[in-house]
Structures are given as C-alpha cells and as structure tokens.
Amino acid sequence: MMRLQKLTSRSGQCQNSASQRKTSHNMDRQEAKRNTSASMKFPTERIKNAEIQKDDIFLISYPKSGMHLLRHLILYVLNDADEDAVREDRRGLPFEVGMVEDGDDPRAVFLKKGLDNSRGIDTKTLKTPRFFITHLAFEMLPGQLHEKKPKIIYLARNPKDMLISFLNQSQKMKVLKTAPPTLQNLIDKFVADSQTSFGVEEYGSWRQHVLSRWARRDDDNVLFVKYEDLTRNLTDYIRLLARFLGKDISNDAVEKIAGLCSIESMRNDPKARSDDTCKLLGIPPEESPFVNKGRIGRWKEFFTVAQSERFDEDYRTKTSASGLEFDFE
C-alpha cells in the first residue's frame, strides 16, 4: 500500500511537472508572438566570447541556402552512414540558439526551450567532434573561431532561389504577428543591403555574409560549397566532405547517403524535416519549409521581368569584383 501511494504521488508530481512545463512553454510562445514585429536578438557578446574547440565543425550559411541538406549529409558522413546513429545524434545544433539564456530576447528563449524539450541543447555534453550550424555573420562569430581554426564549411546559394525559399517559409509561419513579406519586400531589402532581411540583425546582409566567406575560401580550414554544385554532384560532394572531415568512406556508404539525402527521402524523415522546429513555428511538419522543392531556377516562377532585371543589375554591382558566380538555372 505504501509503495502504491509513493508511485501515485510520483505520478502526480510528474503530471504537475509536465503541466507546468507546458504552461511555461505556452507563456513563452505568447511572449514570443508579442515581439515578432521587431528584429530578434541573440546574445552577441556571449557568442563572441564562447569557447571553441580545435576539432569543432561549423556549417555556416545565409538563411534559406540549403543548410538542412548539407547538415544531413555531414551527420551521415560523421556517423558512417548509420541511420540509427544519425537519428540519435544531437549534433548539428544552431550555435546561436545554444548560447541563449533566460532573460534574453523572449523569442530566442522560446526557440531554445522548444529545442531543449525535443532534442536538448547543451554544447558541453555533445560528443566530439562537436558539430554546429549557424547563420551568424562573419563578425558575429566567436573570436576563438579565428584563433583555433576549426573546420568551417560554408554553403552559398544563388540569391534569387534563396529569396523564394524564404518567401515560402514566411508564408507558412503561423507565429508571425504581422503579414508575411511579399517578394517585392524581399527584393527591396536585398537591394538595400538590409541588415534584418530575415528578422535577425546578427545575420547581416546577403552581400556581407557571402562575400566575407568567399574571400576566405582558400583558407586550409575552410570548404566553400555552392548549393547548385552540391545538388548536381551529390556523390562527389559526399566524398569531398568525407575527405575534408578526415573520414574514410566506402562507395556503398556514399550511395547509401545519397539515397537517404534525396529530397524524397528527407520529406519522410522527421529529423531532416526538422519537425521540432516546424512545430515551434506553427508549421505542419508535412509542410516543412526545410525540405522544399530544392530546384535550381525556381525563382522564374515568381519574379516578374522587371523584378528580375532590377535584381540582376544590383547583384552584378555587388559581386562583379569578387569573381563569385552562381548558376541561376
């Protein structure tokens, strides 16, 4: 009888705890919604002073540049194409979210707590080599990143398709307080080099973000990848990633990873779809914007001739001196 009472008591405590967590999370969601009209802030100084390990791996890209595909490829390479190991691997976390603490921007706190509940965010307990993803601009990254020189994989995508990918995601986000942007809004911000094109000041403008990394593409610890090349030559890039990360990989493993990371396979994979993040953003997982069409040149279905001409003129002005070129179709 005593044991039954203890179990009943513990069960009640667990239910109360779960209820409290749910109530707290709902309050965080309400607070986050109240702040969606301004740019979300991450703890800049805490991020810049973060401790980095020499064998860390950072995947960096501007938002909506194909990061989820490359993140998935890296996890499979690190885990020798083992599906169960990838499913349980908590690496590939958003670095800036991991730095958030209570008292920071309510939207960032809401995001971190949501991811903590689903997969846990604790940079100190990740197995090595630690693997992080981030959209942070070059100057916002930890200072030790430049001193210890961990492996950096930078992913860039042609900016027309990038804007369409963001347009698709913003239209699906139910947590937005304001109406989602139009394509014209996004083009105007791109042309203006807006620092808050994607609602986060620490990401900076596309030009600053991409060209600063393109300038460092020949550094020994940097691998610069274009999304268009990656998707057209998937098996070659799996081998390239393995060499860069110091992993031996068999031809069978390469073919297996290529199959598991196809658009069709990823649409049926909760981890690849980032179901946890979708739920936080109020997006049905089956409509995940993180595994979308993946097609090169989809921008042609959305841009008018006038919009395309204006964009192209600005794009050429921003990139012509750099030597950086993209495939747009």
Radius of gyration of the chain (CA): 21
pTM beyond 0.75: yes
Distant-in-sequence, close-in-space partners of 183: CB < 8 Å, separation ≥ 6: 163, 164, 167, 302, 303, 307
* Confidence (pLDDT) at 302: 94
**Which of 24-33, 58-67, 117-126, 268-277 has the lowest average pLDDT?**
24-33
* Confidence (pLDDT) at 287: 62
Which tens digits make up the pLDDT trace of 217-231? 999 999 999 999 999
Query: Strand order of the sheet with strand 151-156?
Result: 93-94, 131-134, 57-61, 151-156, 222-226
CA distances from 257 to 65, 143, 251, 253 (A): 20, 34, 10, 6
Give mean pLDDT, residues 72-78.
Answer: 96
Give mean pLDDT, residues 103-130.
Answer: 74
Which tens digits make up the pLDDT trace of 180-202? 789 999 999 999 987 655 667 78
Percentage of the chain beyond pLDDT 70 is 73
* Confidence (pLDDT) at 116: 58
Residues belonging to the chain: 329
* Confidence (pLDDT) at 292: 66
> Does 16 have pLDDT greater than 50?
no
Neighbours of 259 (CB within 10 A): 12
Average pLDDT, the chain: 82
Give mean pLDDT, residues 282-309.
Answer: 81
> Does 281 have pLDDT greater than 80?
no
Give mean pLDDT, residues 157-178.
Answer: 77
Give mean pLDDT, residues 89-106.
Answer: 86
pLDDT bracket for residue 19 (50, 70, 90): very low
Measured distance CA(257)–CA(80) in Å, rounded = 9
Q: Which two tokens stand for residue 49?
A: 């002073």
Listed by start position, the domains of the chain span 38-319
> Does 8 have pLDDT greater than 90?
no
Contact 37, 178 (CB under 8 A): yes
Higher pLDDT, 7 or 154: 154
Higher pLDDT, 6 or 177: 177
Q: Domain 38-319 maps to which CATH number in 3.40.630.40, 3.40.50.300, 3.30.470.20, 3.30.1490.20?
A: 3.40.50.300
